[in-house]
């Protein structure tokens, strides 16, 4: 007498070989390696972004040199005297918070599109606003497929025709808007009020950078997923673009709220 599952051994064998696995179709249900806030602000003659270089694995500060601002595309340019190629003018700056691998996939996608435009050699390239509109459609389509790209993105640059600075945001479900100041992650709660209070349309580049550094410093104090090692990037109306190397902000932990006795327990302001 042999033992078998209901339906006999042949039916069971067919089910094991031919039936699709329950895990064959998978979706990213939550981000794993994540970056936090990206800040953006317009100033007289350009637009500027800032982010830190930390990516956390859950609650562990694991990767401390993750660049989350990238310059993409732009119009090819050459030196007027020697004819040597120069860095592209009017590129698009893309900053991203959230799942870092998804951000890398978006950057690769946009670079592939920029390469295709370059190979077409028709003189056209995507402006920052066109890139922002394209990403809105991409993020919304992925959300409708129940397989979102887990990022909040900031797109910045200057229009090559009008020279007007552009700053727009897209989140993982395709919600998009433009503004003079914006932030992703925890920065939308802490940094945006500071930037709105101090923003002026005629701000100089140095004032905009100082404001972003102040906001990144506050985020380092208050956001446990933030780091004081940051990157600043700018795009100017004349087509210039610069993404800085990472550098560390000076910080101070002497504030009264950081060192005062808590609840009479003889402890400082930390946990």
Looking at residue 73, its pLDDT comes to 83
Q: What is the pTM of this model?
A: 0.82
Looking at residue 15, its pLDDT comes to 45
At what angle are helices 205-222 and 187-198 packed, to 10 degrees? 150
Distance CA(253)–CA(207), nearest Å, equals 24
Looking at residue 64, its pLDDT comes to 94
Distance CA(88)–CA(100), nearest Å, equals 25
Looking at residue 195, its pLDDT comes to 96
Strand bridging mode 92-99 / 69-72: antiparallel
Residue position matching structure tokens 């694995």: 57
Distance CA(17)–CA(195), nearest Å, equals 60
Residue 102 tokens, joined: 């998804």
Catalytic residue among 28, 162, 175, 267: 28
Q: Which residues of the chain have pLDDT under 50?
A: 1-17, 271
Looking at residue 251, its pLDDT comes to 86
Looking at residue 240, its pLDDT comes to 87
Length in residues, the chain: 271
Residue position matching structure tokens 């389509």: 141
Q: Which residues lie below 8 Å from residue 32, measured CB to CB, with a gap of 6+?
A: 57, 58, 99, 101
Looking at residue 12, its pLDDT comes to 44
Distance CA(243)–CA(239), nearest Å, equals 14
Residue 103 tokens, joined: 């951000």
Residue 236 is among the residues annotated as catalytic for this protein? no
Residue position matching structure tokens 């972004």: 49
Looking at residue 82, its pLDDT comes to 63
Tens of pLDDT, residue by residue over 61-118, are: 999 999 999 999 876 655 556 656 556 667 899 999 999 999 999 999 999 988 888 8
């Amino acid at each position: 007498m042999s033992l078998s599952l209901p339906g006999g051994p042949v039916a069971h064998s067919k089910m094991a070989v031919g039936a699709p696995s329950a895990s064959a179709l998978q979706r990213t249900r939550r981000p794993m390696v994540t970056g936090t806030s990206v800040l953006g602000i317009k100033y007289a003659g350009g637009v500027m972004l800032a982010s830190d270089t930390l990516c956390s694995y859950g609650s562990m500060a694991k990767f401390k040199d993750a660049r989350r601002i990238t310059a993409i595309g732009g119009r090819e340019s050459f030196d007027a005297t020697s004819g040597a190629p120069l860095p592209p003018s009017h590129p698009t700056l893309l900053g991203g918070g959230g799942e870092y691998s998804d951000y890398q996939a978006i950057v690769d996608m946009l670079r592939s599109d920029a390469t295709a435009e370059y190979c077409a050699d028709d003189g056209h390239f995507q402006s920052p606003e066109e890139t922002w509109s394209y990403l809105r459609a991409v993020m919304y389509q992925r959300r409708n497929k129940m397989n979102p790209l887990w990022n909040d993105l900031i797109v910045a640059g200057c229009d090559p025709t009008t020279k007007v600075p552009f700053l727009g945001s897209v989140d993982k479900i395709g919600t998009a808007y433009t503004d003079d100041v914006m932030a992703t992650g925890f920065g939308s709660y802490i940094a945006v009020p500071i930037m709105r209070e101090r923003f002026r349309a005629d701000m100089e580049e140095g004032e905009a950078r100082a404001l972003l550094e102040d906001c990144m410093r506050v985020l380092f104090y208050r956001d446990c997923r933030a780091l004081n090692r940051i990157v600043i990037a700018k795009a100017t109306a004349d087509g210039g673009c610069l993404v800085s190397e990472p550098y560390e902000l000076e910080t101070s932990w002497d504030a009264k709220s950081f060192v005062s006795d808590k609840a009479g327990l003889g402890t400082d302001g930390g946990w």
